[in-house]
């Protein structure tokens, strides 16, 4: 191989004009340490969001005392620091004082920024409020729980809002799935006028039935296989660390656009998880030989029941969820465990802190025991 490279170099040198410099890019480097280093974050698309918000929607989990105090502090800060910004709250009984009522729908007030207070489930709920179109940028605050979608601790809300308002925040577009349900005659089921937007995953499962599901899988119209299993999961890269991971699926970086197909307890040991490009359309059809219907849950919420002959089409949604990155906010002096802003890739920190990725089996307790 190296002799071929030398011959190539010699022929290129001979073709150059006299006294010309041989381009260094053509020189084969044998030592990888001499190769130029690459910025570790360069491969992660993080567009900067430079629009100061004029309307903020607050979405929170059930109003416990810490949540009530956090909402009051957030409202007071916004009204004092950014008096021209309108604050809205989801249409519930417990509308906080100083906020306007917001109802989803075609005539809903345009929202520039969604602020969530709670856990990962709160963000999934916020995503579901914008199921018919584009989702505003989402700024997520943890209320004590750790999660993959919780980049900021609630104590850092002033600094995070300042960065957003000044246009310094970067966003990660987290892919969603568009799911369409059909009956046995390939007509849309019920009153499903629009596609269902899913941020984590759609799961077909046998529910309380003692029988395995028989599901035909089609990819871009081609029959892939007949799956006999407890169920199937189609997840986004964001959802790859949720239900899909528990079922044995791969971990996929959220900046990628892909569909992850993961079986749940398949009868065949050779049925392994698959990753498809985001251009693929996956169709899951309950087989005619299936002895049970399949329950359907999307982002952890039961939505449909599919009977033999009925199906669901799953494809990438044109409306991702733009999430504001933790790494785009200036690092604060007070660091909160698993939630403080930092310079490194949010995802790398999360799989190490939250999943204990590739942690050694030899825990500190075992090490202490081995010394005695």
Q: In this predicted model, what pLDDT tens digit does every residue of 92-111 receive, in sequence order? A: 767 777 889 998 887 788 99
Please indicate, yes or no, if residue 75 is contained in any of the structural domains. Answer: yes
CB atoms near residue 59 (< 10 Å): 21
Residues 333 and 241 in one domain: no
235/253 Cα distance (integer angstroms): 12
H or E stretch at 163: helix 157-165
pLDDT of residue 217: 98
Q: Considering the domain boundaries, does residue 108 fall inside one?
A: yes
What one-character DSSP code corresponds to residue 108?
P
Both 169 and 182 in a single domain? no
Indicate whether 27 pLDDT > 50: no
Residues 169 and 215 in one domain: no
Q: Are 116 and 151 in the same domain? A: yes
% of residues, the chain, pLDDT over 70: 77
Q: Say if residue 341's pLDDT is above 80.
A: no
Beta pairing partners, 89: 58, 101
Q: What is the DSSP string of 315-363?
A: EE-S--EEEEPSTTSPPPSSPPTTTS--SS-HHHHHHHHTS-TT--S--
For residues 335 and 249, the model is more confident at: 249
Q: What is the CA radius of gyration of the chain?
A: 25
Q: What is the pLDDT confidence band of residue 363, given thresholds at 50, 70 and 90?
A: low
> How many angstroms separate the CA atoms of 164 and 159, rounded?
9
35, pLDDT greater than 80: no
126: nearest Cα among 192, 174, 83: 174
Residue 76 exposed, middle or buried by CB count within 10 Å (0-12, 13-18, 19+) = exposed
Specify if 298 maps to a domain. yes
Residue 145 is predicted with a pLDDT of: 73
Summarize pLDDT for 279-296 with one digit per residue, the tens.
Answer: 999 999 999 999 889 999
* pLDDT score of 232: 98
Distance CA 225, CA 216 (A): 6
Considering the domain architecture, whether residues 298 and 189 belong to the same structural domain is answered as yes
**Domain count of the chain?**
2
**Is residue 362 scored above 70 in pLDDT?**
no
- Read off the pLDDT of each residue in 58-69 and give the average, rounded to a whole number: 87
Does residue 65 surpass a pLDDT of 70?
yes
Q: Could you tell me if 240 and 249 are in contact, meaning their C-beta atoms sit under 8 angstroms apart?
A: yes
The DSSP call for residue 146 is -
How many residues make up the chain in this entry? Answer: 372
30 or 324, higher pLDDT: 324
Closest-CA residue to 113 (of 84, 143, 87): 87
Burial class (CB in 10 A: 0-12, 13-18, 19+), 312: buried
308 and 188 together in one domain: yes
Q: Which of 15-19, 21-25, 61-65, 180-184 has the highest mean pLDDT?
A: 180-184
**Would 59 be classed as within a structural domain?**
yes
Q: What is the DSSP string of 10-58?
A: HHHHHHSPTTPPPPGGGSPP--GGGSPP--TTTTS---B--PPPSEEEE
Residue 176's pLDDT is 98
Please give the mean pLDDT across all residues of the chain: 81
Interval 46-54 mean pLDDT: 74
The residues annotated as belonging to the active site are: 120
Spatial distance between the Cα atoms of 150 and 339, rounded to a whole number of angstroms: 7
Tokens of 220: 């871009």
pLDDT band, residue 299 (cuts 50/70/90): very high
Q: What is the mean pLDDT of residues 341-366?
A: 72
- The burial class, CB within 10 Å (0-12 / 13-18 / 19+), for 364 is exposed
Query: Residue 77's domain is classified under what CATH number?
Result: 3.40.50.10330
Residue 32 pLDDT more than 50? no
Residue 24 has pLDDT above 60, yes or no: no
CATH of the domain at 298: 2.60.200.30
Q: Lowest mean pLDDT: which of 58-67, 170-179, 196-205, 265-274?
A: 58-67
272 φ, ψ (degrees, to nearest 5) = -110, 160
Highest mean pLDDT (candidates 10-14, 37-41, 51-55, 56-60) = 56-60
Q: Which pLDDT value is given to residue 281? A: 98
Confirm whether 268 is domain-assigned: yes
| Residue 288 CB-half CA count within 13 A | 1
Full domain range(s) for residue 92: 55-174+321-353
Is residue 228 located within the same domain as residue 241? Answer: yes
Residue 271: is its pLDDT beyond 70?
yes
Residue position matching structure tokens 């900067």: 48
Q: Which of 147-161, 313-327, 330-344 has the lowest mean pLDDT?
A: 330-344
């Amino acid at each position: 191989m190296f002799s071929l490279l030398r011959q190539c170099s010699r022929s290129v040198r001979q073709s150059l004009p006299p006294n010309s410099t041989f381009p260094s890019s053509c020189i084969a480097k044998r030592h990888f340490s001499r190769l130029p280093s690459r910025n570790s974050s360069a491969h992660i698309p993080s567009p900067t969001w430079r629009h100061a918000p004029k309307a903020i929607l607050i979405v929170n989990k059930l109003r416990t005392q810490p949540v009530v105090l956090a909402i009051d502090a957030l409202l007071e800060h916004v009204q004092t620091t950014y008096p021209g910004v309108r604050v809205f709250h989801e249409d519930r009984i417990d509308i906080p004082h100083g906020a306007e009522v917001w109802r989803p729908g075609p005539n809903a007030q345009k929202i520039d920024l969604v602020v969530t207070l709670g856990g990962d489930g709160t963000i999934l709920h916020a995503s579901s409020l914008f199921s018919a179109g584009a989702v505003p940028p989402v700024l997520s605050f943890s209320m004590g729980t750790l999660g993959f979608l919780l980049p900021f601790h609630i104590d850092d809300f002033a600094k995070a809002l300042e960065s957003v308002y000044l246009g310094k925040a970067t966003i990660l577009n987290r892919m969603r799935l568009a799911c369409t349900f059909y009956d046995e005659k390939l007509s849309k089921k019920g009153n499903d006028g629009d596609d269902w937007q899913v941020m984590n995953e759609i799961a077909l499962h046998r529910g309380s039935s003692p029988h395995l599901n028989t599901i035909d899988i089609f990819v871009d119209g081609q029959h892939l296989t007949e799956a006999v299993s407890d169920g199937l999961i189609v997840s986004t890269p964001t959802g790859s660390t949720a239900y899909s991971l528990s079922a044995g699926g791969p971990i996929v970086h959220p900046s990628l656009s892909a569909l992850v197909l993961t079986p749940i307890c398949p009868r065949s040991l050779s049925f392994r998880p698959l990753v498809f490009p985001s251009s693929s359309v996956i169709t899951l059809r309950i087989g005619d030989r299936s002895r049970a219907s399949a329950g359907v849950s999307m982002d952890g919420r039961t939505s449909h029941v599919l009977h033999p002959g009925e199906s669901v089409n799953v494809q990438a949604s044109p409306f991702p969820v733009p999430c504001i990155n933790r790494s785009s906010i200036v690092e604060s002096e007070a660091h909160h465990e698993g939630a403080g802003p930092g310079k490194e890739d949010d995802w790398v920190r999360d799989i190490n802190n939250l999943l204990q990725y590739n942690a050694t089996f030899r825990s500190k307790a075992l090490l202490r025991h081995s010394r005695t």
